[in-house]
A and B are shown apart, each in its own frame.
Chain A
Amino acid sequence: MTATTRTIQVDALARVEGEGALTLRLRDGIVEAAELRIYEPPRFYEAFLRGRDAAETPDITARICGICPVAYQMSAVHAVERIYGLTMTPTLRVLRRLIYCGEWIESHVLHVFLLHAPDFVGQPGALEMARARPEWASLVKTGLRIKKAGNSIVRAVGGREVHPINVKVGGFYRLPRRTELAALVPELTWAEQAVRDCLDWSTTLDYPEGDGAYDFVALRHPDEYPMNEGRLVSTSGLDADVTEFDQHFAEQQVPHSNALQARKRQDGGTYFVGPLARWNLNHDRLPAAIQAAARAVGLAPPVLNPFRSLGVRLLEVLYAFGEALRLIAAYEPEGPASLPVEPRAGTGHAATEAPRGLLYHRYATDAAGHILDAVIVPPTSQNQAQIEDDLRRLAPTFVDLPEEQATWRAEMLIRNYDPCISCATHFLRLKVERS
């Protein structure tokens, strides 16, 4: 008997951010290769940060991503501020959390309603979904309005919606007035209720089985659901300071991808960052109302099925609206817009929770505050190997389907992670051999 081979090939993944492809090769039903091929060219951000003033890091690194620039700004400023020994005032801390709420809303809502939802209603995209049924068109329209509410937070705190311009090392260029934030409240309140309605809709969807024994990794804060601060924790028991990131995780080059893949140093295993990781590791940090909403839609932790990430993203959006309203209600623009900055030599580490997961930055500066070395590990780099593991593990559940359906299921599995390929291709390790 001759062996039968089958290859599922997607040359250009749709409904993800950036340019990637997929190869899934099977022999007699056994997965021989599962490769998320990222061919988007590397962008060398870490290399051209060298020699720049560390004060430029929030504006330069924000350009890595048009979807999650706030995450890059937050990780950058916190890392540099650790070198300079700065501690944010309560007002500045509140504003940083508030702008992060806005970005979570923008990014999650874009993914849920325009990129991910079509997978669960059997439509190739948001356009076809909106055309297929009036109630789905209404849902997409509602999603767009919810997203605009998130945009309004980023604009009010950050100065504009894309690549905000108000964030700086030491704080902000300008504190928003109380009235500017209060003006957002009616629409945020509407959006919070709209998300509750959308959560009900999410329970009507048919989710494939997919439970896995994942090692989730996220930040954990003593009191809050994590955004800007916390320790590195994992399902397998890690509990480390962010400065120890490099001791626990390492990026490596693989031949088929222009993006580095991160793995655990201890055993070379994969790990999972993002909404599911935050959810499972920090559920006790959520308000009782969010925990109740989660129970009502069957998403009390542990949530081990990556296809259920759609509902978890909606729950994080619900939390972000509630948190934004709480922060705005208590907001008093007290103290300076920014703290004085005195450059010094040193090394600073920071990790924050980007919508897609943990985003780690490390900078080394000289006495004048010029960058000597920069390391940026985005969430998609960390999830890449995990995505390939999922493909290997779950391929047997769909490879017997007709070609088109099997390909769709493989793509759907990748979209569970909301990968941002443009973020992941920020660096390529170059090895030059000379004789």
Chain B
Amino acid sequence: MRWVRPIRLAGLGSHQDADGLGWRVVARLQERLGSNADVAANALAGPAGLLDMLDGTGTLVIVDAVQSGAPVGTLHRWRWPGPEFVQWGGTSTHGLGLMEVLPLAATLGLLPPVVEVWGVEVAAEPVPKAVAAAAEVALVEELLATSTQEMHDVQDHSRSR
């Protein structure tokens, strides 16, 4: 299923270096997108904030830092509900975890028909700062380009109808 409007982009994280990836991506998306009634980007301190954004319509794209053991900078893109989500477990040590929030939103009829999680692999162990920064910048750009393309596709698709 292609993305459908309205599109909601949510960056999860904090102000801290690696964990701040979701917020930095969202900040750049906000700059790039400007004011667009069909696309909203929000920085959230935790998954529970997603519940405030959703009304059962459109597309939700969640951006977060991930540690799965893959090389630093690897871009993950998962469509909900996929097999990857099962192994994430159900609870979080920070209030409510993503794997509690998404099923809860579905139970309450708030989950949009299209939900994607974009994860960027960050380091579990310290890596040289320049290496991590370069990888992150490159991947942020790729993320921006892909999401911008998706949004153009949505608009083209909408115009062709």
Mark A residues whose CB is within 8 Å of B: 12-20, 63, 66-67, 110, 114-115, 125-127, 130-131, 137, 140-141, 144, 147-148, 151, 161-163, 422
Query: How many A-B residue pairs lie within 8 Å, measured between CB atoms?
Result: 69
Mark B residues whose CB is within 8 Å of A: 14-15, 43-46, 48-49, 51-52, 90-96, 100, 103-104, 107-108, 110
- Complex CA gap A16/B93 in Å reads 7
Using known A-B contacts A125-B100, A127-B100, determine if residue A115 contacts B107 with beta carbons closer than 8 Å.
no
**Closest 5 CB pairs between A and B?**
A66-B45, A19-B93, A127-B104, A130-B107, A14-B91
- Complex CA gap A163/B110 in Å reads 25
Are A125 and B46 neighbours in the complex by a CB distance under 8 Å? no
Return the chain A residue nearest B45 by Cβ: A66
Are B104 and A140 neighbours in the complex by a CB distance under 8 Å? yes
- Complex CA gap A151/B51 in Å reads 12
Are A66 and B52 neighbours in the complex by a CB distance under 8 Å? no
Q: List, in ascending order, chain A residues with CB within 8 A of B95's CB.
A: 15-17, 67, 110, 114-115
Are A66 and B14 neighbours in the complex by a CB distance under 8 Å? yes
Q: List, in ascending order, chain A residues with CB within 8 A of B43's CB.
A: 162
Return the chain B residue nearest A13 by Cβ: B93
CB distance from B56 to the nearest CB of A (A): 11
Are B107 and A137 neighbours in the complex by a CB distance under 8 Å? yes
Are A67 and B45 neighbours in the complex by a CB distance under 8 Å? yes
Q: List, in ascending order, chain B residues with CB within 8 A of A110's CB.
A: 48, 95
Are A125 and B94 neighbours in the complex by a CB distance under 8 Å? no
Q: List, in ascending order, chain A residues with CB within 8 A of B91's CB.
A: 12, 14, 125
Interface centre among B93, B103, B108 (most CB of A within 10 A): B93
Are B103 and A161 neighbours in the complex by a CB distance under 8 Å? no
Are B48 and A131 neighbours in the complex by a CB distance under 8 Å? no
Are B107 and A162 neighbours in the complex by a CB distance under 8 Å? no
- Given contact pairs A16-B95, A115-B95, enumerate 18 new A-B contacts (beta carbons under 8 Å): A12-B91, A14-B92, A18-B94, A114-B96, A115-B96, A125-B96, A127-B103, A127-B107, A130-B104, A130-B108, A137-B107, A137-B108, A141-B110, A147-B51, A151-B52, A161-B49, A162-B43, A422-B94
CB distance from A410 to the nearest CB of B (A): 16
Q: List, in ascending order, chain B residues with CB within 8 A of A19's CB.
A: 93-94
- Complex CA gap A12/B103 in Å reads 21
Q: List, in ascending order, chain A residues with CB within 8 A of B96's CB.
A: 15, 114-115, 125-126
Q: List, in ascending order, chain B residues with CB within 8 A of A137's CB.
A: 107-108
Are B48 and A114 neighbours in the complex by a CB distance under 8 Å? yes
Are B108 and A144 neighbours in the complex by a CB distance under 8 Å? yes
Are B45 and A162 neighbours in the complex by a CB distance under 8 Å? yes
Q: List 19 A-B contacts (CB under 8 A).
A: A17-B94, A18-B93, A63-B14, A66-B14, A67-B45, A114-B48, A125-B91, A126-B104, A127-B100, A127-B103, A127-B104, A131-B107, A141-B110, A144-B51, A144-B110, A147-B51, A147-B52, A148-B52, A161-B49
Return the chain A residue nearest B53 by Cβ: A148
